[in-house]
Chains A and B, each alone.
Chain A
C-alpha cells in the first residue's frame, strides 16, 4: 500500500509506503488525519501550503455492497476549517485496487492560469503516474469536457476533476467524479474543495486500474461473513431494499415528510412548509417519468456494487434527460428554498451546477438569499437560471454568488443568512428539528446534515424516536452519537445510507465492523469502532481550534432566535450549553 504524493510545483510524484500511523485508517479518518498532521491550520486555503487529499474508504474496492465511497479533504475556502466531502463513484474502487490508500496533492505551480491533468494506471507491479497539460479543457462545460476525456483515454477510465467554479476558485466549488454512465454528476460538493484543486492547477485525475491487484483482505472468511450481514440488512430494510423507498422515489422522497413535519425550509428559511412541495417531491418525479416514458422507472446506482440504487433521472417529454440525478437536497434548494415548484426548471438548475462544478446545496441556498435580498423575486426560475450562468461565466455578480450564501447575505446586507461557519444549511429547518440544528452548529464541517443525521430518529422513526420539537439537553447526546458513528461510516467506504438499515438491524452494524476487522486483521468491538469515529472528530476539532474557531462558532445564526418559524411558530430556543455539551462531553 502506498500514499501517492503529487507535487504540483514541479509536477513530480512520490510513492510512499504507508506509515504505521495511517495503516488502520481510510476515507474520512485518513483525509482528516493527514490534514491534521501536515497542513498548517493557519494557511490560506488557496495558497501553496494547503493540501488536497483523496482517500477511498477502508473496504472500498472489495465486493461488499454499497461501498464505493471516496473522501476528499483539505482546508476549506468556504469555512476556513477542516473539510471532508465524499462521493460515490467508480473512481474510488479503481484507486483502491491500485493499492493507493491516499493521493495527496501538494504545492502550487508558479505560472497561474495553466492547468494540468494526471493519469494514473497500473504498470508492472506499481502505479504509473503521468502529468500532461489540460488547458484544452479549461473554461468548458463539463458535459462537453468529460466525453472528450473519455474518448481520449477509453471507456474504462474514471475521472475526477473541477469545472469553471473550481477554476474561478469560488468558495462554492465541488470536485466532480463520473457516475456509471460517465456523466460528470457525482460530487464531493461541499466546502469549496474544487477551488483548492484549482489553486493547484490540477484539472483532472484520470485513473485506470486494469491489471491492478485489487484490495488486500487479511481475513477473507470474516470479510465474507461481514459483507453477507451487510447485504442481508440492506436487502431486508424497507428503505434500502430493491423497489423500496430509495430505489423507487430517490432521496427526494423526503420532501413530503419534512413538509408535513413543518421542517422544510421555504423561501430562504422563512417558513417550514412549501405550498408546492407535492409538485417537487420524489413521488412527483416518479409519476412524471411514468407519464413521459410510458412505464415505471426505478432508480439506478451511482457507483458499482450498490444495492440501494437511489439515483434518479428526470426525463423530458421527448425522452431526453433533464437531470441525473436530482437529490433531495438539490430539489429542495432550488425548489422550496427558492419558492420554485417547477420540477423541469429544478432539473435544469441541477444540470447547470454539474456543468459548472458547483455544489447544489450552496448554490440553491445562495439563490434563496439572493431572492430574499431583492436580486430577483422568489419563484423566478428563469432568473435563477440566468444567475447560474453568470456564476459559470465568472461575471462580477456571478463571482459574488460563487462566494456562497453567507457572502451574498453580507454583500446585500441581509441578516437572514442560513449558514454556520460560512456554510449553507441543508434541507432541514433547525428550529423545527432541534437535533439537526445541534449537528449543524457543532460539526467541524460547517452546517452539514450528513455529519450527524438525527433526522433518522427525529422525523423518520429510524433508529428509535426523538421528538423533533423538544428543546432538551438530550439533543446534544443524540447529535454526538450520530456524529461519532458517521465519522466511522465515512471512513469505512460504505455510503451513509446503509445507516437506515443498520440502525434498525444490529447484525448489519456488526457486519460493517466485521468487514473493517477483516481488512486490517484487527478485532475491534462495535464500541471500539465507534470510539475510532470519536477520535477522528477530536482531530478535526483540534485543527479547527488551531485555525481560530471557538465554541462561539458552534451556534446557529441569530435570526433563528427571534424569527418565529411557521407552521409551529418556533424559534431556536436551545441554550448555548446544549451546543457546548456536544464536544464538551466527547
Chain B
C-alpha cells in the first residue's frame, strides 16, 4: 500500500532531500503496516518522536495504516 508521510520541525532532516517541513512524500508499506514501521523505515530515533497523527487524528505508533493514509510525525513541540 501507499501512504503519505509528513515530517515536522527537527524531524525534517529525516525526509528526502529538498522537502520542506510538512511537505508530504510517498512511502510504500506492506499491508497492515504501522506508524512504528514508518518511523523505523526513516531511521528516526524513537525518542525524537512525540506526537503522531493519521489523517488529522492523534494515533499511537502501533496504529495500523490503510492505503492512502496521511501520517504526520512531530518531535516535542510547544509554544502559545
Contact = CB atoms under 8 A, between A and B. Distances in A.
Partners in one complex: yes
Contacts of B51: 257, 459-461
Query: B10, B50, B57, B77 — which one has the most chain A CB atoms within 10 A of its CB?
Result: B77
A288 to B, nearest CB: 11
Given A260-B72, A460-B51, A251 B79 contact: yes
Interface string B50-80: 1101001110000000000000101111111
A568 B50 contact: no
A468 B57 CA distance: 9
Contacts of B57: 469
B18 to A, nearest CB: 12
Interface string A303-343: 00000001000000000000000011100000000000000
A282 B21 CA distance: 10
Interface in B1-31: 6, 8-10, 12, 20-23
Nearest to B73: A260
A246 B78 contact: yes
Contacts of A465: 58
Interface range on chain A (Cβ under 8 Å from partner): 35 or more
Given A260-B53, A283-B22, A461-B51, A253 B9 contact: yes
Interface stretch (A378-386, A447-455, A521-529): A447-455
A282 B72 contact: no
Nearest to B76: A238
Interface in A272-297: 273, 277-278, 281-284, 287
B79 A283 contact: no
Interface string A236-247: 011110001110
A254 interface: yes
A248 B13 CA distance: 14
A245 B9 contact: yes
Contacts of B53: 260-261
Contact of B77 (A245, A278, A450, A496): A245
A378 to B, nearest CB: 22
A460 B80 CA distance: 11
A287 B6 CA distance: 17
A249 interface: yes
Given A238-B50, A260-B72, A568-B56, A450 B80 contact: yes
B72 to A, nearest CB: 4
Query: B12, B56, B57, B76 — which one has the most chain A CB atoms within 10 A of its CB?
Result: B76
B76 A287 contact: no
A462 interface: yes
Contacts of A310: 79
Given A257-B51, A277-B22, A283-B9, A329 B77 contact: no
A251 B79 CA distance: 4
Contacts of B76: 237-239, 244-245, 460, 462
A469 B21 CA distance: 25
Given A256-B22, A262-B56, A278-B23, A283 B78 contact: no
Contacts of A462: 76, 78
Interface in B29-63: 50-51, 53, 56-58
A98 to B, nearest CB: 31
Given A249-B9, A262-B56, A283-B8, A496 B75 contact: no
B8 to A, nearest CB: 5
A497 interface: yes
Contacts of A282: 9, 79
A500 interface: yes
Given A248-B10, A261-B56, A253 B79 contact: yes
A281 B9 CA distance: 9
A281 B21 CA distance: 9
A203 B80 CA distance: 29
B10 to A, nearest CB: 7
Nearest to A450: B80
Contacts of B21: 256, 278, 281, 283-284, 287
A149 interface: no
A327 B79 CA distance: 9
Contacts of A329: 80
B80 A256 contact: no
A252 B80 CA distance: 8
Contacts of A450: 80
Given A248-B9, A282-B9, A283-B9, A254 B77 contact: yes
B44 to A, nearest CB: 14
A250 interface: yes
10 contacts: A238-B76, A245-B78, A248-B9, A250-B79, A273-B56, A281-B22, A287-B20, A456-B78, A467-B58, A568-B56
Given A328-B79, A455-B80, 6 more contacts: A238-B50, A245-B77, A254-B79, A278-B20, A283-B20, A468-B58
